[in-house]
Amino acid sequence: MKKLLYILTFFILFECSNPKENITPEINLNGEWQFFHEQTNNWYSATVPGVIHTDLLANNLIEEPYWKTNEDSLQWIENVDWKYQKTFTITEDQLQDDNIEIEFEGLDTYAEVKLNGKHIISANNMFRTWKVEIKPLLKVGENVLEVQFISPINYNKEKYNNYPYKLPSGCETGETRVSSFTRKAAYHFGWDWGPRFVTSGIWKPIKVNAWNDAKITDVYVQTKSISETEAILSTEITIESSNPEEKDIFIIINGEKHQKTIKNGSNTIKHELKIENPKLWWCNGMGNAHLYDLQVAIFDGDVKIDHKDSRYGIRTIELVNEKDSIGTSFFFKLNGKRVFMKGANYIPQDMFLPNVTDSQYHKLLTDVAAANMNMLRVWGGGIYENNIFYDICDEKGILVWQDFMFAGSMYPVDDEFKKNVKHEVKENITRLRNHPSIALWCGNNEIEVAWENWGWQKQYNYSAEDSSQIWNGYAEVFHSLIPNLVNELDLNRDYTPSSPSSNWGAPENFNHGSMHYWGVWHGREPFENFDKNVGRFMVEYGFQSFPGMETIKTFAVDSSQYLESPTMLNRQKSYIGNGLILEHIKQYYDEPKSFEAFVNLSQETQAKGMQMAIQAHINNQPHCMGSLFWQLNDCWPGPSWSIIDYYGKKKKAYEVIKTEFSK
């Protein structure tokens, strides 16, 4: 009898820890593809994820884009439509699932997708995922997937030419300025620290997912309340059911089993978590960035049909942006405590985004934490970063000021554009909201301050009616559409419509809100003015320098290593760059006698300026409660405001900033 009880107990334990599963592995469609080159009338090998520039380079069809002045000779690529193709095999067993869908995590940007000759997707946004049911189109054996990319220039040329008025378009270079119409990373069209490479391609992974009956589409965790002995969190689990009738399932949340009834379509299941003696998530320098695991699985009877593992942190974050005795405050409270934010503005790490490796993310963010930073701003002219970026920020206690991807431009006001933006914003809030590192959603970079202070109305000869239409369209997106989505999808995080909220041109503005201070640089002011112009939260400020000679030699031959060479003139994207650097060098040091001396002194000068700025900000607490310098990193090798160059090499300012942020 004892032996029988032992066998039964073992069987029950074995069944609970090793449940039956009916989960079909995803089919990976990354790796080897082909692309068609119209000018040679040939197919060539391609790699997915990738972009056309990297595929052309891998086939020796172009020279290295970052070498010398090759940027100029490669502009033709953006005007060509490019076709990609892959053949993959499906077995009879793989067609047995009820639902089979293909998911493109990212298409850059305008693409028509066909499967076995049938159209399945029309993509028009680099920042969105594209997913569609494909089971009726699949067949046993070989299947052909085609992606036809349309040049953003070709796609939008007619719209650009026929639009009632010209739209300001960031730092875009080129004659046909279509970036305002294109939901694509703005920096690809040119910026004052990077080149113009307008990419096309399958820039993120592709997979085929198969499922039966039901699947988990999202798990959302929110901290509701915290005490010393208990934290209460709410979870919302979204389950998609393909069963035409209601169905009972079991859902297991961190080992707790619950029976639920789900209907056809989307189902939201709410559950409260109670954590005893919670370990809070703190930013770098204030404590441990403790993370908890959340494991969710759904069962049809005793068969597991899907599962999703997530991580979360227990913490509260609040932006205090309100009237006070001297103006308008702007500071963050983490777990109820005021925090002086120390950090930088982050841009994409490459012009060709699939080139960025996981190890590069780890190295850069390890350097951020080591420099005593506790916040990065993901700037609005780049991308909503890959999940690994936020995962590492979660682990290292780096808070993220997250811009939506709009920068220095005005945008169309038509319903189609706003509908596209709504999908983009909703998807990215949902993807990122579980990360404890996300501190703030920000509508855009510099658009409001530009509209009010940069003279666009006069520059573009807008009529009163034009100005009203443009501004009303702007307000609808950034003062209504986006904040409404934030309130709906991520109620416990704050939103600010634009950065900055005050312009540096007027002294009284330094008492109000967030500030981009460019008196030093664009205003040609001396470093001493950093101490005289301290805002409530300094979101941008900085000074340029060159990367070291080792990096310079990766893009310039010896004969090009002087400031007036075509290569160096191509590298310097700022309208006042080299001359302004030299002016400041001569204020503190002897005039450089060689190009190498200029390079070294540019870094010494940058370090001095950054030190003076950060000291002014830290010494003016609590008036000032944040110092985020421009900029952390580079997207190609060249002079810029960065303190870490394209290859991850630290400039002299890095150690100075590390020391100042330790105080």
Residue 17 has pLDDT above 90, yes or no: no
Which amino acid belongs to residue 14? F
Nearest alpha-carbon partner for 400 in 430, 423, 432: 432
| Secondary structure of 369-410 as H, E, C letters | HHCCCCEEEECCCCCCCCHHHHHHHHHHCCEEEEECCCECEC
Residues 6+ apart with CB under 8 A from 658: 370, 371, 372
Mean pLDDT of 579-588: 96
Question: Does residue 631 have a cis peptide bond before it, meaning omega lies within 30 degrees of 0?
Answer: yes
Mean pLDDT of 176-204: 97
pLDDT at 18: 57
Largest pairwise CA distance in the chain: 95
Strands (E), 395-498: 399-403, 438-442, 494-496
Residues of the chain with pLDDT > 70, as a percent, come to 97
Helices 595-619, 577-588: inter-axial angle, 10-degree rounding: 80
Residue 6 has pLDDT above 60, yes or no: no
Measured distance CA(473)–CA(414) in Å, rounded: 8
Tell me the pLDDT tens digit for each residue of 43-99. 999 999 999 999 999 999 999 999 999 999 999 999 999 999 999 999 999 999 999
Q: Quickly list H helices, 82-208.
A: 152-162
**pLDDT-based confidence at residue 1 (cuts at 50, 70, 90):** very low
Nearest alpha-carbon partner for 282 in 226, 234, 230, 232: 226
Mean pLDDT of 407-418: 95
Q: Where are the domains of the chain?
A: 27-208, 213-312, 326-408+421-444+495-660
pLDDT at 3: 43
Query: Which three-class secondary structure state does DSSP give residue 641?
Result: coil
pLDDT at 174: 84
Tell me the pLDDT tens digit for each residue of 608-635. 999 999 999 999 999 999 999 999 999 9
Is the alpha carbon torsion for 430, 432, 433, 438 positive or negative? negative
Mean pLDDT of 304-324: 96
Which amino acid belongs to residue 425? V
pTM (2 d.p.): 0.95
Q: Which tokens go with 61?
A: 């069809």
Is the alpha carbon torsion for 433, 438, 439, 444 positive or negative? negative
Residue 481 DSSP class: I
Name the CATH superfamily, with its identifier, for domain 27-208: Galactose-binding domain-like (2.60.120.260)
Residue 542 has pLDDT above 70, yes or no: yes
DSSP 31-77: EEEEEEETTTTEEEEEEES--HHHHHHHTTSS--TTSTTHHHHTGGG
Which amino acid belongs to residue 69? T
Measured distance CA(372)–CA(658) in Å, rounded: 6
Residue 2 has pLDDT above 60, yes or no: no
The fold of the 213-312 domain, in CATH, is Immunoglobulin-like (2.60.40)
pLDDT at 19: 62
**Minimum mean pLDDT range among 12-16, 43-47, 112-116, 559-563:** 12-16
**pLDDT-based confidence at residue 175 (cuts at 50, 70, 90):** confident
State the CB neighbour count (10 A cutoff) for residue 131. 14
pLDDT at 45: 98
Mean pLDDT of 337-358: 98
The fold of the 326-408+421-444+495-660 domain, in CATH, is TIM Barrel (3.20.20)
413 in Cβ contact with 476 (< 8 Å): yes
Tell me the pLDDT tens digit for each residue of 213-267. 999 999 999 999 999 999 999 999 999 999 999 999 999 999 899 999 999 999 9
Q: Which tokens go with 528?
A: 């001493």
pLDDT at 334: 98
Measured distance CA(397)–CA(283) in Å, rounded: 4
Residue 650 has pLDDT above 60, yes or no: yes
Residue 491 has pLDDT above 70, yes or no: yes
